[in-house]
Amino acid sequence: MDPFSVPHDSYDPVGFVISSEGTQVGVVTDMGMPSSLIRERLRRCCAMVVEANHDEQMLKNAKRPWALKQRIAGRQGHLSNRQTCELLAEIAGPHLQAVFLAHLSAECNRPALAMEAAESVLRKNGHAHVAVRLTYPDRVSDVISVT
């Protein structure tokens, strides 16, 4: 297991790349922006769990205090669907087999929005082979096999 730093407003937040027999899986949530280090660590993964916390318009219209909205959207907050898609467009390659979208806000996102955005950007960039899945707060996510 290889931890790496992520930008978030908590004490020493990290993401992980877990390796076994040449296969790498990345896990990174609670990040305000995809740093160069995050992009480099995830670039070689065949599967990843990545945050897609909010839809920017839904966050803007949410009945939340302005300061909280600013915190969530800030460089130390959480990734929006758009930011997650930009990250995927940059790092996806032929080796990437699956992306699990995680930490979706119940109030400021919709699973269908996040999935469609990720699937669309992957298709647009020639990576339609990548399976996009969701994670859930109350049950096990899909189980996949990676090679």
Q: Which residues of the chain have pLDDT under 70?
A: none
Q: In the prediction, which pLDDT does 11 show?
A: 82
Q: In the prediction, which pLDDT does 146 show?
A: 85
Q: Assign residue 22 the CATH number of its domain.
A: 3.60.15.10
Q: In the prediction, which pLDDT does 62 show?
A: 97
DSSP summary character for residue 54: B
Q: In the prediction, which pLDDT does 1 show?
A: 86
Are 54 and 109 within 8 A, CB to CB? yes
Are 36 and 59 within 8 A, CB to CB? no
Residue 143 counted as domain residue: no
User: What distance lies between CA 120 and its chain's CA centroid?
Assistant: 15
Q: In the prediction, which pLDDT does 27 show?
A: 97
Residue 147 counted as domain residue: no
Rounded CA gap, 18 and 35, in Å? 19
Q: In the prediction, which pLDDT does 9 show?
A: 85
Residue 130 counted as domain residue: yes
Which tokens in the block code for residue 142?
A: 């899909």
Residue 23 counted as domain residue: yes
Residue 97: domain span: 2-134
Rounded CA gap, 129 and 139, in Å? 25
- Number of independent structural domains in the chain: 1
Residue 139 counted as domain residue: no
Are 29 and 50 within 8 A, CB to CB? yes
Q: In the prediction, which pLDDT does 57 show?
A: 98
Residue 30 counted as domain residue: yes
Residue 29 counted as domain residue: yes
Residue 58 counted as domain residue: yes
